[in-house]
Amino acid sequence: MSESTNGTNGTNGREDQSLAYAPVAGTEGAKRGTTKLKIFRGDAEGGEFVEYETDMIEGMVVLDAVLNIQAEQAPDLAVRWNCKAAHCGSCSAEVNGRPTLMCKQRVNEYEGEIRVQPMQAFPVIKDLVSDVSWNYEVSRSMTPFTTSQQAPFTMYEEDVERLYEPKSCIECFMCQDVCHVLRTHHKHPEFAGPRFFVRGQWLEMHPMDEANRLEYLKDGGGGIGYCNITKCCTEVCPVGIKITDNSIIPLKERVADEYYDPAKWLMRKIRGRKGSRNGSSNGG
């Protein structure tokens, strides 16, 4: 097919008509032998690792390999993906026991075996796909942005710059997957997980937000006390959010202000103001 790219087609002499036959981009010239992957094949009932061999293409990521295998050898291999550019957070899986965005992880960075399996903190549906719907339930349970002010807001860069980091979360749920509170201890009903502490952080720190989520974070399903700040979530976040340092600990400190600090408690009693926070537009 690519031959016709060069073939001129002179129906009229006005312009080079061959431009109407565009090159079809192929992978020729980028093949670098083959590579092997062990991929989990199975469903909720169980399954096994199956080894596949596929072409190694220069610069290939794990997702490329999986999709090649799907197109050529295993049409029913279930996998999630969308953007292929680490923007959407769909392609989370565990590669060699570590949560990884498959579209971001180069194949040639592994020496030896590559084992791909679905995230383990959630029920497996099939192959590389697990059921992450629980996360959306948690999202629903959290008070959304609430304000009595009317946009357009006057907000300054220096007041909001620290919110850009939590806002960049792509909801890959890998932090949820790696968190031992969920993964090992299955505290799903009582614990929102690092992803939602990240969300809680920007909500609580937003200059215009007026809701108070501290009660939720402490007891109402947030369960932030279950987090023992062991930082596995921070280690896996593909967009580099310092989840523990910048989201969880600041929220733990705010919870401490409200529930564990006798001096602050006394002050609130004396001043007769409850729940007001420093500098919040409602706080005064």
Partner 1 sequence: MSAIAAAWKRLPWWVEPMTVVFVLTAFGLYSFAVIVLYQGQYEQYISPFFSFTATMELPGWVPGFITAPMLLLWIPLGFRATCYYYRKAYYRAFFWDPPACQSKAQQREPRSPENYNGERALFVLNNVHRYFFYASIFVVAFLWYEAFYTVFTPDGFQIAVGSLFWFVNIILVSAYTFSCHSFRHLIGGNMDCYSCNRGGNIRRKIYSGVSRLNENGGHARWAWLSLFSLLLTDIYLRFIAAGVIQDYVLIPFGG
Partner 2 sequence: METNGTRENYEVREHDVLIIGAGGAGLRAAISAAERGFSVGIVTKSLLGKAHTVMAEGGIATALGNVDPEDGWRTHFMDTMKSGKFINNWRMAEIHAKESPDRVYELEQWGALFNRTPEGKISQRPFGGHTYRRLAHIGDRTGLEMIRTLQEKVLATDAEVFMETTVTKLLKKDGRVVGALAYTRESGKFIHFKAKAVVMATGGWGKIFKVTSNSWEGTGDGVILSYDVGAELVDMEMMQFHPTGMVWPPGVRGLLVTEGVRGEGGLLRNAEGRRYMEDYDPEKMELSTRDVVARANYTEVQAGRGSEHGGVYLDITHLGYEGIMKKLPTMYHQFKNLADIDISEEPMEVFPTVHYTMGGVKVDPETCASTVPGLFAAGEVAGGLHGANRLGGNSLSDLLVFGKRAGDGAMAYIEESTHSVDIDEADLQAELRRVLEPLEKKEEGESPYLLQQELQEVMMEHANMMRNEDSLKEGLGKVLGLKDRMEKISVPGSRLFNPGWHTAQDVRYLITISEIIVRTALERRERRGAQWRLDYDGPDEDLGKINFIVTRDAQGEVGIERREIEPMPGHLADLFEEAKV
Q: How far apart are CA 130 and CA 122, in angstroms?
A: 6
Binding segment toward ligand SF4, per CB under 6 A, in 38-46, 63-71, 102-110, 222-230: 222-230
Minimum Å gap between C-beta 202 and partner 2 is 8
- Which one among 17, 43, 78, 81 touches ligand FES, defined by CB under 6 A? 81
Structure tokens, 95: 């590669």
Report the partner that residue 139 touches, choosing among partner 1, ligand FES, ligand SF4, none (CB closer than 5 to 8 A by kind): none
Asked whether the beta carbons of 107 and 30 are under 8 A apart, the reply is: no
Report the partner that residue 174 touches, choosing among partner 2, ligand SF4, partner 1, none (CB closer than 5 to 8 A by kind): ligand SF4
Asked whether the beta carbons of 222 and 213 are under 8 A apart, the reply is: yes
Build a one-symbol-per-residue string for 94-113: x at contacts with ligand FES by CB under 6 A, - elsewhere.
Answer: -------x-x----------
Q: Is 257 in the site for partner 1 (CB under 8 A)?
A: yes
- Which one among 61, 91, 178, 198 touches partner 1, defined by CB under 8 A? 178
Binding segment toward ligand FES, per CB under 6 A, in 79-87, 141-149, 195-203, 209-217: 79-87
Cα atoms in the 13 Å half-sphere on the side-chain side of 42: 15
Residues 44-63 that bind partner 2 (CB under 8 A): 57-61
Gap between the terminal Cα atoms of the chain: 70
* Owner of token pair 């948690």: 138
Q: Is 88 in the site for ligand FES (CB under 6 A)?
A: yes
Minimum Å gap between C-beta 160 and partner 1 is 9
Q: How far apart are CA 131 and CA 119, in angstroms?
A: 9
Q: Is 237 in the site for ligand SF4 (CB under 6 A)?
A: yes
Report the partner that residue 21 touches, choosing among ligand FES, ligand SF4, partner 1, none (CB closer than 5 to 8 A by kind): none
Long-range contacts of the stretch 145-154 (C-beta < 8 A, 24+): 145/203, 145/206, 145/209, 145/211, 146/209, 146/210, 146/211, 147/208, 147/209, 147/210, 147/281, 148/210, 148/282, 149/208, 149/281, 153/207, 153/208
Structure tokens, 181: 């509170």
Q: How far apart are CA 269 and CA 262, in angstroms?
A: 10
Asked whether the beta carbons of 100 and 94 are under 8 A apart, the reply is: yes
Q: Is 261 in the site for partner 1 (CB under 8 A)?
A: yes
Q: Is 168 in the site for ligand FES (CB under 6 A)?
A: no
The alpha carbon of 133 is separated from its chain's Cα centroid by a whole number of angstroms, namely 14
Binding segment toward ligand FES, per CB under 6 A, in 84-92, 208-216, 256-264, 272-280: 84-92
Minimum Å gap between C-beta 227 and ligand FES is 15
Return residues touching ligand SF4 (CB under 6 A). Answer: 89, 169-175, 179-181, 194-195, 198, 227-233, 236-239, 241, 243-244, 248
